[in-house]
Structure 1
């Protein structure tokens, strides 16, 4: 099972979602071809009613802790209640392309600005 499928499966099991999209965005980053390290998750669920953004994110991080410690480097989380999803026009924001930052890039300084 791919990492993307694993993430989708776990989210489907944990949430009664109105909408779920897990997109592998690794190709937008400085990683080897066919990597599964960067994902965008759009999840719409009534389970988020009454929860703030931080609480929602914490729940996803707990659920995907194993994946985050085994290769997943980044999750772009877009978590909505059904009403918030409708208000958004049923679309999550586009993710930007990576701006670089490889340790092999001479302009990159860990912890510094670019």
Structure 2
């Protein structure tokens, strides 16, 4: 696992205390892309946290971006995510 993935994991865990967290580094699929050539990676995350209860999808994404703050300017070029509450995660049949 890349050190960037570990940094992302640590920051999200510290800020949101997720019950479930998956992070995938998809940077290799974007080789040659402008963001890839500047050093920023492409990542996908599934985050399940009670901190998202009562929050809109936009608010949830802002919470994640806030946790990653300066990484969003250099190490991360693109971050796609599913930001779910525990009950939403349970309803989708995920474990």
CA distance in 2, matches of 1:81, 1:53: 10
**1:30: Cα distance to partner?**
2.6
More strand by share: 2
Q: TM-score, normalised by structure 2?
A: 0.83
Which structure 1 residue ranges, 4+ long, deviate > 2 Å from structure 2?
none
CA distance in 2, matches of 1:78, 1:57: 9
Q: What is the aligned length?
A: 89
**1:71: Cα distance to partner?**
2.7
Q: TM-score, normalised by structure 1?
A: 0.70
Higher Cα Rg, which structure: 1
Task: Give the gaps of 5 or more residues in structure 2.
Answer: none
More helix by share: 2
Secondary structure of 1:89's partner? coil
The Cα RMSD (Å) is 1.9
Q: Which has the higher contact order (CA 8 A, sep 6+)?
A: 2
